[in-house]
A and B are shown apart, each in its own frame.
Chain A
């Protein structure tokens, strides 16, 4: 058995709160939930002994043992299916996809089994499916995807994507305690970003799923976004502010079920909307947000709703190509400037 494999040193228990990066906050959250509730366990490829490709689950096996830190074969369908089965038995699995690109081999199990179980026969599945998403790190077409809109059209899956260390911890705890399947996407660029290091509470706290936050207050236009693009939105807002444009930034935090009232409130305040996301434009979640605004706040609009997103290509590898593919701060500033002047 793999328990016989020697580890050179045991990982340390993470601090409780304190100054933490995104990945440290996330790891604290999982650790504390495993301490709190013996039915919580982790499952995935290289999550145990190795601690995960991005070390999100580092050291959990030392503390909680192999029984609750399950290293699997390369089998995303088995990971999702086994998580569902264990959840039926009353366990609370936290399953990892090594990269969110590899959620696709588990797609069938997610959309057909996990998503429909409660609806079909009342068997809610308290499951978390998490992993690193997102581009901008020159990882090419198969380690860069943003998968939220693959799943947003499937009833029965909640989708969250935090953009701060505080939310990373609060949302993973909420996801683990949720009675239904939650897809938890972590933008890999955020994991160790010094800018995101912040003081988080020592106390147990959760961030409610389904609630957006106002990341920056403004009057002239709203940028609606989530994940790593929140940082681009904030930087663009700073630049536009120097030009006299006051920008509000809404960080959705949850993509499904979406906090429509937070979106509509911001639209009513600024009357101009820029939707920003990192996935490709066509069929992206931005279209759904724009449609919601058109239906529910049309009379409050002073300008067309504008989308800034990746172009409709796979994510290319070479830096200049990837830069062209992805929405950049300058794209957001340009769009914001035009929108403000409309």
Chain B
């Protein structure tokens, strides 16, 4: 085995080669005129414990941005700009569908911001700007019978699971036609028929719930996979630990998508955890940990696909850490005053949608016209969905009293009369 120093030096050389596009091999022109990074997908996504402990944690997200270029599957196009992982089983149609979901996610959120500014959204708006590829790519690798519990920043996964944007608009606007009838916010609802279980605000709580989904399914002889999304902040909770530990002990097919987006509200990852990579935590549960470039939708899909096969095949639980970045504040009100200068700009350069567009063009998987048509379709769909949600009435006030319990057994909790009167 190479010593740590040797490994590092070797990698440094490779990474430089990948960036410069002129390493020891002649990669230019090898495939459709594109440059191909030499580093294999396998090497990039499998964590090494040695690697995890040999130095101090990455101190900043800017350093991480640099590290992504060094560690991830940094394929580049003819102009030397990052594109996505080349090695893929995705068909052209699937790639276009992925593009549609990425655009849908971003444009739904942009529309929500507009509605928020028009005071039509009752609560806050939470963006996934810059990390859409993680949610969309991972959820796209699932089957219909699989279950997800996303976080607030995983709208993309919710849409991939078949939830309509109009439901999201109605939820944000606290409308009667929203899936929770105005009782809860944003993506805090669920649809068991679509394999979507909405989160609650208490980060980490969905991990034991999803362990229970997998446990219940096993008792029923169903071979499904349960996926829980969590962030660098949520992984600090007790519920996260308890839920994942139990799943690991039971060898349940629970996949944790650890979105390393660098901030939990204003708190940087360095104040959440002393590990370098969130995937390193997998060792503590006796399960595999993987790292993927969370801004590469193809890599997210391919890594997830392999881990889903592992879990479904009886391998048990696993963690996939997606290295990405939260480009907006915690919610729309957050001015991000805690960000170091230059960090946002660094990650804007790595925008997952721009990157995938470059990828589709460079791989001749889509033309600009095809992409424009997809965007136009998505915009039309959003217009219709917003109109539908706006046309919904607000809930009847009395509805607040219903559905605490099954009301055929326990009556609704209507406001009681005072002294026997009204």
Q: Which residues of A contact B (CB under 8 A)?
A: 39, 41, 67-68, 70, 72-73, 75-91, 93, 105, 108-109, 112-113, 116, 118-124, 155-156, 158, 178-180, 210, 257, 295
Contact = CB atoms under 8 A, between A and B. Distances in A.
Given A80-B208, A81-B212, A109-B208, A119 B242 contact: no
List of 10 A-B pairs having minimum Cβ-Cβ separation, nearest first = A85-B212, A81-B208, A86-B216, A89-B216, A82-B212, A78-B242, A75-B242, A78-B246, A85-B213, A121-B189
19 contacts: A70-B250, A75-B245, A77-B208, A81-B209, A82-B246, A84-B212, A85-B211, A85-B226, A87-B212, A88-B212, A88-B216, A89-B213, A91-B219, A108-B202, A108-B205, A113-B200, A120-B189, A156-B404, A180-B405
A118 B404 CA distance: 6
Interface stretch (B177-185, B297-305, B311-319, B355-363): B177-185
Interface string B209-224: 1111111111110000
A77 to B, nearest CB: 4
B207 to A, nearest CB: 7
B209 A113 contact: yes
Given A78-B208, A81-B207, A70 B215 contact: yes
Contacts of B243: 77-78, 81-82
Interface in B254-303: none
B190 interface: yes
B156 interface: no
A79 B216 CA distance: 13
A302 B184 CA distance: 46
Most A CB contacts (10 A, CB to CB) among B217, B242, B403, B409 go to: B242
A294 to B, nearest CB: 11
Nearest to B204: A77
B207 A155 contact: no
Given A67-B219, A257-B405, 18 more contacts: A72-B246, A73-B242, A77-B238, A78-B245, A80-B208, A81-B212, A85-B210, A86-B215, A88-B212, A88-B216, A93-B212, A109-B205, A118-B406, A120-B198, A121-B179, A121-B190, A123-B190, A179-B406
Contact of B403 (A91, A108, A119): A119
B413 interface: yes
Interface residues of B, number: 45
A77 B237 CA distance: 11
Interface string B171-207: 0000000011001100011101000011011100101
Contacts of B86: none
B239 interface: yes
A85 B216 contact: yes
A205 to B, nearest CB: 18
A75 B246 contact: yes
A210 B410 CA distance: 9
A79 B179 CA distance: 28
A91 B222 CA distance: 13
A112 B246 contact: no
A121 B183 CA distance: 8
B59 interface: no
A124 B404 CA distance: 9
Contacts of A123: 190, 192
Contacts of B184: 120-121
A73 B406 CA distance: 32
Contacts of A75: 208, 242, 245-246
A89 to B, nearest CB: 3
Nearest to A123: B190
Contact of B180 (A67, A82, A90, A121): A121
A49 B239 CA distance: 25
A88 B192 contact: yes
A79 to B, nearest CB: 8
B249 interface: yes
Nearest to A178: B409
Given A73-B246, A89-B220, A156 B205 contact: no
A179 B250 CA distance: 27
Contact of A87 (B207, B216, B238, B405): B216
Contacts of A93: 212
Contacts of B404: 118-119, 155-156
A86 B242 contact: no
Given A86-B212, A179-B406, A180-B406, A108 B219 contact: no
A89 B410 CA distance: 23
A156 B405 CA distance: 6
A161 to B, nearest CB: 18
B217 A89 contact: yes
A311 to B, nearest CB: 32
A77 B216 contact: no
Contacts of B216: 85-91
Nearest to B213: A85
Contacts of A70: 215, 250
Contacts of A156: 404-405
Given A118-B403, A120-B189, A68 B213 contact: no
Interface centre among B202, B209, B243 (most CB of A within 10 A): B209
Contacts of A113: 200, 202, 205, 209
B163 to A, nearest CB: 12
A88 B205 CA distance: 15
Contacts of A91: 216, 219-220
Nearest to B185: A120
A82 B208 contact: yes
Interface centre among A85, A123, A295 (most CB of B within 10 A): A85
Nearest to B407: A118
Contacts of A77: 205, 208, 238-239, 242-243
